[in-house]
Structure 1
């Protein structure tokens, strides 16, 4: 069944889907601003967590001086930015404040329409737990953000790269889960779709690449080597230091982390091409979007290295990562729809024979 042949969803599921798509757009902006915040080293400029009162930025000179004095107490200022002017502090404060403000907006957009749709009983059966989980995940993400910032306020001059990875991957998980739910609500009868096996493998490969991308960002590993495809004159520099125990190199060694992130991208490319080939017969636009997103992302990754971590290129690289997630989710969801359609037709074989894993509990399990 082609996209054009699919029946349109009813008004209520469509309204809920539009709300979730709006939330996805805000999360995309949030990830982009988060990238700018990290690349401008602005993340530690606000040293207190005030979810409500912190929405109002400093206005008077006395308020600005108080925030600046708090910043002067942390290692980043004392060891790196000692002597920074108040004007320079205001610049980095701006990006962190915008990042947190967007978090507040996302929290409200996740909560208020949810309450409205719940009161109006507009959320289809079996979607109540999913929409509620999205709001809870947004709340948890706010706490993870502070947990990350707190790691750089006492002994370190930056945040923990592991906590940064948790923060980024949680944001992308929320984005992907929200997008999948929105697409479910737009499908025939708003029936939840199940992830086919190829989708699980593709998501796993992509998640690993995103994890190492977060490690590269948190360790500033992009500065280790600014050449491509070789790292200096070798595939992997033989003189690079090696950490003990062995497994630490895959988390804490900037050179190893950059090496893995460079080449695992092409493993993800293989999965993207496989998905694109599978989905092309169902939807050419899904296939084209997948090719475009993964191709652009690899080029931006190489460009980020060769440009010496240019701010604009690096931010574009992080923004495109969200588009890659979106294209993977959309393509896998379209394949899941084809499988669901095939399984309802007698005597068909193909997608219906492929093992699958539910995103939602079955009706029997729910009861």
Structure 2
């Protein structure tokens, strides 16, 4: 069938009205950016909750509350004792463990309730974090907003959260038998270490989601490889120091030697290797554990200064700035650590030291990200 010729004066608006509306250019990109932004916001909420969880966990340990609940009931354990009979039953379970028999014998029911509520709150917060993760993941999955390749990453966070709960009980169970008055320090270090792994992954994911995949791909082509490698080493050193800090906290080694830079007037305490078997000194000997924590702190500080000086040579202002913040956090943490030792680790300083460790951890990861994925900047920012 012949097509009627169009006049060059024909009103094109009539034909546009007759044709189906098409998506505007860039609509898919905008939708993808909106989805990435929403997921990043959800992850930031999870990050904040994990930070609070670490602080509550620290206070639970400092108040000797971690062994007050002697069973792990994932569902029914969410309901606290509701009457006098149930409270007495929980108290009787606690009175059977070594911590009560060897340390807290004669504790009243009201004193037990104080430590019980700390541990109960710690566990409920863990359940709440799991719920926030599950609701967020299902929401974004049903709306098909999860970017390609991100489903395994987000599922992995949930799996690590579940593993953290299991490790938490593995940690608590170590203090329920024998002559243990506290949980095993190496299990505490495992528990805290995994919390920081989760924090680190969330922080890295938020940084990635803040930029498009195309932008990240282009940034990889101009990454500062030497600086990125040094940054990876710095991350490993800081993580190892966090584990060492957990060992110190697990046996209250921070209160055993309150002078600095020496320890009881010595470089290394005389009784640093007296325990048998020999390897137990590295986990249970207060002198050696604190000595190792101090020595590693010096190593981290020296390496951090080297990394910072190397970053100052970068042509990118944002890379220099990120490493500057890292160096500031490191300096504050070192000074705070010394003050905490000198004042025998009161709970206020101990929690502050732990919180600054979170800031340092994120600052180190951010610095490494800045060199691994350099961001384009204007001439004024150089």
TM-score range (shorter-chain normalised) is: 0.7 to 0.9
1-structure distance, mates of 2:202, 2:52? 15
After TM superposition, give the deviation of residue 10 of structure 1 in Å. Answer: 1.1
2-structure distance, mates of 1:177, 1:259? 30
Contact 1:42 1:96 in 2 (8 A): yes
After TM superposition, give the deviation of residue 240 of structure 1 in Å. Answer: 4.3
Aligned residue among 126, 132, 137 for 1:109: 132
Aligned partner of 1:39 in structure 2 is 62
1-structure distance, mates of 2:276, 2:243? 21
After TM superposition, give the deviation of residue 148 of structure 1 in Å. Answer: 0.4
Give the TM-score of the pair, scaled to structure 2: 0.82
After TM superposition, give the deviation of residue 334 of structure 1 in Å. Answer: 1.2
- 1:328 matches 2:328: no
Question: How many positions carry a matched residue from both structures?
Answer: 335
- 1:258 matches 2:290: yes
Q: How does 1:14-163 map to 2 (within 5 A)?
A: 14-155=37-178, 156-163=180-187
2-structure distance, mates of 1:269, 1:86? 47
Contact 1:141 1:167 in 2 (8 A): yes
1-structure distance, mates of 2:112, 2:80? 13
Aligned partner of 1:185 in structure 2 is 209
2-structure distance, mates of 1:98, 1:272? 37
CA deviations on 1:174-195 (whole Å, 9 max, x unpaired) are: 1101110111111233748799
- Cα 1:185–1:32 change in 2 (3 A) is same
Instruction: In structure 1, list runs of 5 or more residues that go unmatched.
Output: 1-6, 343-367
- 1:294 matches 2:330: yes
CA deviations on 1:189-233 (whole Å, 9 max, x unpaired) are: 374879932222111111221111111111221122111111011
Q: Give the CA RMSD over aligned residues.
A: 2.3
Contact 1:148 1:160 in 2 (8 A): yes
Contact 1:279 1:286 in 2 (8 A): no
57-66 vs 136-145, greater mean Cα deviation: 57-66
CA deviations on 1:150-181 (whole Å, 9 max, x unpaired) are: 11111122111111111000010011011101
After TM superposition, give the deviation of residue 147 of structure 1 in Å. Answer: 0.6
Aligned partner of 1:361 in structure 2 is none
Q: How does 1:247-286 map to 2 (within 5 A)?
A: 247-279=279-311, 281-283=316-318, 285-286=321-322
Contact 1:293 1:320 in 2 (8 A): yes
1-structure distance, mates of 2:49, 2:298? 29
Contact 2:273 2:281 in 1 (8 A): no
Aligned partner of 2:351 in structure 1 is 315
Aligned partner of 1:171 in structure 2 is 195
Aligned partner of 1:353 in structure 2 is none
Give the number of the structure whose alpha-carbon radius of gyration is greater. Answer: 2
1-structure distance, mates of 2:61, 2:99? 13
After TM superposition, give the deviation of residue 259 of structure 1 in Å. Answer: 0.5
Contact 2:64 2:115 in 1 (8 A): yes
Aligned partner of 2:19 in structure 1 is none
Greater relative CO, 1 or 2 (CA 8 Å, sep 6+): 1
After TM superposition, give the deviation of residue 242 of structure 1 in Å. Answer: 2.9
Contact 1:300 1:314 in 2 (8 A): no
Secondary structure of 2:71's counterpart equals coil
After TM superposition, give the deviation of residue 275 of structure 1 in Å. Answer: 3.9
2-structure distance, mates of 1:323, 1:214? 16
